[in-house]
Amino acid sequence: MGRPGPKNGRNFGGLRLKHASNSVEISWQGEKLELWSAKAIHWPAKKLLLVADTHFGKAATFRKSGIPVPESTSQDDCHRLEELVRQTKVDSLVFLGDFLHARDGRTEGVHKELLDWRKRLSRIAVHLVRGNHDLQSGDPWPDLEIQCHREPWTEFKFDLRHHPVGPTAHPFMAGHIHPGFSLKEKSGSSLRSPCFQVGKNRIILPAFGTFTGIKTVKPDRDDRIFMTDGQEVIEVPTY
């Protein structure tokens, strides 16, 4: 028999569901990866942290068009990133596309906030694999010292992309979709949250930005789904 689950682990009908854990470790393509409830993937072997779809400046874009959104969303996202880097002690941070939301969102306020954040994390290397929004909004301000790459970026063992692609021989991680999963009760009520969609050959990350929507996905046959509400990450059955 397998060893008992990690601390606080519980067994539910063959499913191992950790209790109140802010990360889950999975083994994927021969690598150990940690899925964090804060919507990031930690790859310990490479000392690497991956996040997708931050959409910085989205609130600013809205506000510029006269739609009132509280501005503190991006501030919060910066803090969350900082906290993740501190906890995982990584050397590099990779954004899987859609770093900035739109050209209209390149405001002084957003710039200053990101610059402050970058200064606090000056020790690590930061990369961006350009996504569709980045093409429209342009590369980040040079003083942020973010190295930009075209997808797929093949520096590491797996392809790092923004847009997921169809069946491929190269395992990859991507964003773009903003995946979410919906659990339905028999009574008809349902519960929807962002999720990691982990397939045999690809992982799709949830959108990192607070002010971003989610799209309910239909998992493929061999997909594993890890739902997160920002506090906890839980694997759920997909049938």
- Contact residues: another protein, CB under 8 A: 12-15, 17, 19-20, 58, 60-73, 76, 101-102, 104-105, 107-109, 112, 136, 183-189, 191, 193, 210-213, 227, 229, 231-232, 234, 236-237, 239
* Pick from 63, 74, 65, 34: nearest CA to 50: 34
> How many C-beta atoms lie closer than 10 Å to residue 21's C-beta?
18
87/31 Cα distance (integer angstroms)? 20
The smaller minimum CB distance to another protein, of residues 62 and 153, is found at 62
**In which region does residue 79 sit, left (phi positive, over 0), alpha (psi from -120 to 50) or beta (all else)?**
alpha
- CA atoms lying within 13 Å on the CB side of residue 187: 3
- From the CB of 131, what's the least distance to another protein, in Å? 14
- The angle formed by the CA atoms of residues 27, 32 and 33, to the nearest 5 degrees, is 95
Residue with tokens 């954004």: 95
